[in-house]
Amino acid sequence: MFRPQIKVLDCTVRDGGLINKWQFSDDFVRKVFIALSKAGIDYMEMGYKSSEKYFSRDENGAWKFCTEEDLKRIIGDYDHKMKLSAMVDIGRIDSEDISPKKDSVLDMIRVACYAKEMDKGISLAHQCLDKGYEITINLMAVSKVLERDLDEALDDLSKSHVPVVYLVDSFGAMYSEQIHFLAKKYFAALPGKELGIHAHNNQQLAFANTIEAIIAGVNRIDATLYGMGRGAGNCPLELLLSFLKNPKFDIRPLIEVIQEIFIPIKAETEWGYHIPYMITGTLNEHPRSAMKIMESKKMPNLREYYEELRDGTPLD
């Protein structure tokens, strides 16, 4: 699949940080940054931009905040063509905490929001647009949104100045048919806008669903190194690059950095395909309770966990 319009965004540090509260060393983040840059990746998402009014640096690593100082420590004077982004969550940052683009090394702000708070999402996105950033809205957890509510959110988006909207399978619950259905719906509802895809791997479908979205015309693609990300993780960047035929990409720096730092970290950090994540994925539930099981290191009876979650009485 060669389509020059396709842009790849790596969100390893941002989504992977949901596992370890963004406790990555500067050395780790810099190695990721350099590898992605060498591989020709279009965007690197450095983390979340959140306010220290709401979150503490004692509990969270730098990539929960992404201040200019944090970012500049990593970039240094490395000559790169990659654009940099940060994600913001509604209610976890105020517009005044986001400096104008001219004072930032960030190129793009991605606003994550749920359908029910689309008004707040669009408002924050417009403020970032006014500050000079590229913006996107990542409409989360749509596998749980009733079609009428989704249509309303898409209608709001169609009237906004947001140029890029992401289809997000937060729970890793979707099959290719649903990706295809939703991509078609989004394109129809959002004329003139670009679509993106962000998939989770609970059912080992993150890469396949990403391919399905690409076939459906989606051009903004999220992936992470070695699939690192919350719960079952994401679409592995190294697989995506093998699929995309485009001379600007080079998979080899990714293989190097995976061998150097991701294979070791995987041995001690639980992301990827595990039965608790499979269960929340197939039942279309938030991975919260599965993450608690994985963190506890003591598995409960998984058959009972499945039955309880299926019957509506989750463990948490």
Looking at the Cβ atoms of 2 and 192, the one nearer to a second copy is 2
Looking at the Cβ atoms of 192 and 267, the one nearer to a second copy is 267
Q: How far is the CB of 204 from a second copy (least distance, A)?
A: 5
Looking at the Cβ atoms of 188 and 263, the one nearer to a second copy is 263
Q: How far is the CB of 249 from a second copy (least distance, A)?
A: 13
Looking at the Cβ atoms of 66 and 179, the one nearer to a second copy is 179
Q: How far is the CB of 227 from a second copy (least distance, A)?
A: 8
Looking at the Cβ atoms of 149 and 256, the one nearer to a second copy is 256
Looking at the Cβ atoms of 145 and 275, the one nearer to a second copy is 275
| Crossing angle of the two packed helices 26-39 and 68-75, in degrees rounded to 10 | 60
- CA 45, 155, 100, 111 torsion: positive or negative? negative
What is the identity of the amino acid at 182? L
The end-to-end CA distance of the chain, in Å, is 43
Q: How far is the CB of 124 from a second copy (least distance, A)?
A: 34
The Cα 71–Cα 213 span in angstroms is: 31
Q: How far is the CB of 131 from a second copy (least distance, A)?
A: 38
Q: How far is the CB of 149 from a second copy (least distance, A)?
A: 26
Give me the DSSP letters along the chain. Answer: ---TT-EEEE-HHHHHHHHHTT---HHHHHHHHHHHHHHT-SEEEEEE---TTTS-TTTS-GGGT--HHHHHHHHTT-----EEEEEEETTSS-GGGS--GGG-S--EEEEEE-GGGHHHHHHHHHHHHHTT-EEEEEE--GGGS-HHHHHHHHHHHHTSS--EEEEEETTS---HHHHHHHHHHHHHHSTT-EEEEEEB-TTS-HHHHHHHHHHTT--EEEEBGGG-SSTT-B-BHHHHHHHS--TT--SHHHHHHIIIIIHHHHTTS--S--HHHHHHHHTT--THHHHHHHHHSS---HHHHHHHHHTT----
Q: How far is the CB of 306 from a second copy (least distance, A)?
A: 6
Looking at the Cβ atoms of 12 and 201, the one nearer to a second copy is 201
Residue ranges in contact with a second copy by CB under 8 A = 175-177, 201, 203-209, 211-212, 215, 226-227, 236, 238-239, 242-243, 251-252, 255-256, 258-259, 263, 272-273, 275, 278-279, 282, 299, 301-303, 306-307
Q: How far is the CB of 258 from a second copy (least distance, A)?
A: 6
Looking at the Cβ atoms of 145 and 208, the one nearer to a second copy is 208
